[in-house]
Amino acid sequence: MSAPARRGSWKRSAGLGARWLGTLGLGAYILTRGELGAAWAIVRETAPGWVALAAALYVGDRCAGAAKWRLLLKAKGSAIPFGTALSIYLQSMFVGAVLPATVGSDLVRARMAQPHVGNFASSLSAVIVERLAGVVALVSSAAIGLALFAPISSWREVGTPVLWVAAGTLSLIVAALWIARLRRARAAAPGDRAAGRIRRFAGELESRLIEYRGHWKTLAAVLAISFGQQYLFTLINWLLAVALGLEVRLITMLWVWPIVMMAIRLPISVLGFGVREVLLMQLIGRGAASEAGAVGLGFASGLLDILFILIGGVLLLFRPATGLPGEAPEAERGRI
């Protein structure tokens, strides 16, 4: 194994190990609260009708995600069939669940779409814009929820987890910028053929991203769909709370769930387990629901995520044998 391959393998193992440690540590905290058994008892009593409705809306959320990504590809002249876009979207969810970083699923999705787009940079630019729209919608919905729906008495309780989430997000951004700066410095080294390829690809990707400046209607539609997804996902998890018999108001979920969604995006746990439950214990487990109910809601939400991740895994299993997901075709490997 080459030195770069060993470094990449070490980084993946370290990232996955950090996620498992975070999940186990937070799980231990939940155990110390003595609510785990009660939480599972609440989950076992879930009303199936409400869960079925939540799952149906989750299908709508995935379809909306595939549709907005398809809009961005179509703006570049790549008409991917909706069924293909949805299949790739679900398969990349599965890959993202088994990789140590969320960005891995984005790269795989861009690579899997490349045969339909014809250019990896163009495919990746659509994924990047779609992700940015989702981040803007998530942060905005969290700010709107806190400003309009969070009661004044909850600000003190909310303050600590929000500060942790904000500090973690800021740390990740700073780390990403620092790593990107190091990579640019390495890429500037003379006589390095790989660095030259990276520079050329970075320039092509930048030009593909700039092309979206002329597609304001598409960008507006993508942002609108992203906002719709945020509120739809909040509704889905409120329905799960109803299914569990929790007396949590929808207006409460409008400020609680965006915070939870921001937190579970931090790479400190496996599929958000632990982070989601501890935050819900802090935000609703002291008022609208018991701590056991809050943990049960976190479990139910995570299990619904796993259901659709497994669907993506099944689709990936029966995918035509055209190489590993995310692996460049033979003709492309020397260019990227």
Give per-residue pLDDT as tens, 72-122.
998 888 878 999 999 999 998 888 777 655 556 788 888 888 888 878 888
The pLDDT value given to residue 323 = 45
Q: Is residue 53 part of a domain?
A: yes
Q: Is residue 183 part of a domain?
A: yes
Q: Is residue 124 part of a domain?
A: yes
What's the distance, CA 81 to chain centroid? 23
3-state secondary structure of 89: helix
Contact (Cβ atoms closer than 8 angstroms) between residue 91 and residue 107: no
The pLDDT value given to residue 187 = 54
How many angstroms separate the CA atoms of 81 and 170, rounded? 37
Average pLDDT value over all residues in the chain: 78
What the block records as the tokens of 192 is 């390095």
The pLDDT value given to residue 325 = 47
Q: Is residue 19 part of a domain?
A: no
Q: Is the pLDDT confidence value at 39 over 70?
A: yes
Of 165, 180, 178, the C-alpha closest to 268 is 165
Domain that holds residue 215: 26-317
How many domains, in total, are found in the chain?
Answer: 1
Q: Is residue 245 part of a domain?
A: yes
Pinpoint the alpha helices (H) of the chain.
3-33, 36-44, 48-75, 82-98, 103-117, 120-148, 155-187, 193-210, 216-243, 250-264, 275-283, 291-317
The pLDDT value given to residue 65 = 93
147: confidence class by pLDDT, cuts 50, 70, 90 = confident
Q: Is residue 14 part of a domain?
A: no
The residue with tokens 């109803």 is 242
Percent above pLDDT 90 for the chain: 28
Q: Is residue 322 part of a domain?
A: no
52 Cβ partners below 8 Å, 6+ apart?
Answer: none
Query: What is the average pLDDT across 157-179?
Result: 59
Residue, of 29 and 306, whose pLDDT is higher: 306
How many angstroms separate the CA atoms of 232 and 253, rounded? 11
How many angstroms separate the CA atoms of 263 and 266, rounded? 6
Q: Is residue 295 part of a domain?
A: yes
Q: Is the pLDDT confidence value at 63 over 90?
A: yes
How many angstroms separate the CA atoms of 175 and 17, rounded? 19
Can you give the C-alpha Rg of the chain in angstroms?
A: 21
